[in-house]
Amino acid sequence: MLFNGKTVLITGGTGSLGKVLVQRILGGKLGAPEKVIVFSRDEAKQHAMRLSYLHKKVSTDEAIYRNFSKVLEFRIGDVRDYAAVCSAVKNADIVVNAAALKQVPSCEYFPAEALLTNCMGACNIVRAIGENGYPVGSVVAISTDKACKPVNVMGMTKSLQERIFVAANILQAKTRYIGVRYGNVLASRGSVIPLFHEQIRSGGPITITAPGMTRFLLSLNRAVDTVFAAIKSALPGEIYVPDAPSATVINLAKALIGKRKVKIREIGTRPGEKMHEVMVSEEEANHCVKRGEFYAIKSMLPELTGARKEANAFGGEFSSAHRILDYPRTVELLKRHRLMIGDKAGWDDGELLR
């Protein structure tokens, strides 16, 4: 079992992805963990998350609540702080690095801050394990499609994070450093769907950047599935990518509006935005292979390539412009994940897809 008897550290564990990771790991379907450590710098989010477990608002096994202090641990700390990282990492078997500055405009205005969290945070994890000889088995970098052919600071720093972890395999062969890369997560904090919901509830207008802009879409559970698949099967230096559909911004807006009389206003692209995102670049396609329901981008470093021969999964780049859902299928996707206004499942921050 993947997590049986393991201590799992999740940096940025109070974020949208972190919450679902914790929920599913504690659920026990992949083995009962020794402990899950949530490491983040926001005490308010940690307090709210702690209460959600104590008040039984998350559907995990009853035993989790009786052993709450033993199984789930909260640590205040910042990945920028080397000492705090050392303290959190030293007893971990698996580290999932979900700590990040991920808002594109914020990173454009404060690139040094993005560098400190997204890159130096990764460096601190690698340094902590290497310099102290901590027996960490696997480290997973949580990345983004914006790291592929990056045009904005967020993507650039995430791309560097990927390379920092991939290269760590060379000097720290006892620890396996791997990554996952995916696109927009439906209903995650800061994503477009909660914004559209608020605009609709306020009577509009819905503001879109450009009608033809496309984005990959996947649920939080699918994102977590990608993390689990990478932990289970990824070779050192590999980055796992889900096979995700994409949709246009205009179809997303129209699907959420439905029959309501809400106007759509085009405001133009924001600084650092692409019209179409790319999950696997044309250059990466030369060493990207199919692994079950996922794709694995193999490392470019010859020491990590290995002798295993596998057919390339793509003849060119994997772009959000290539597999666009039409309007009916966009509506179906949103309904399937209960993201239409009036659905019980939460689009709201903190109410996660089940």
Question: Would you say 203 and 262 are in contact if contact means Cβ atoms under 8 Å apart?
Answer: yes
Q: From CA 93, how far away is CA 300, in angstroms rounded? A: 26
Q: From CA 309, how far away is CA 290, in angstroms rounded? A: 12
Contacts of 249 (CB under 8 A, 6+ apart): 192, 208, 209, 210, 211, 212, 213, 214, 215
Question: Would you say 181 and 240 are in contact if contact means Cβ atoms under 8 Å apart?
Answer: yes
| Catalytic-labelled residue, pool 45, 146, 274, 298 | 146
Q: Is 146 a catalytic residue?
A: yes
Q: From CA 258, how far away is CA 273, in angstroms rounded? A: 27
Supply the DSSP string of 280-332, one letter for each residue.
E-TTGGGGEEEETTEEEE--SSHHHH-S----BS-SS-EETTTSB--HHHHHH
Helix ranges restricted to H, 116-184: 121-132, 153-171
CB atoms within 10 A of CB 200: 18
> Which active-site residues does the annotation give?
146
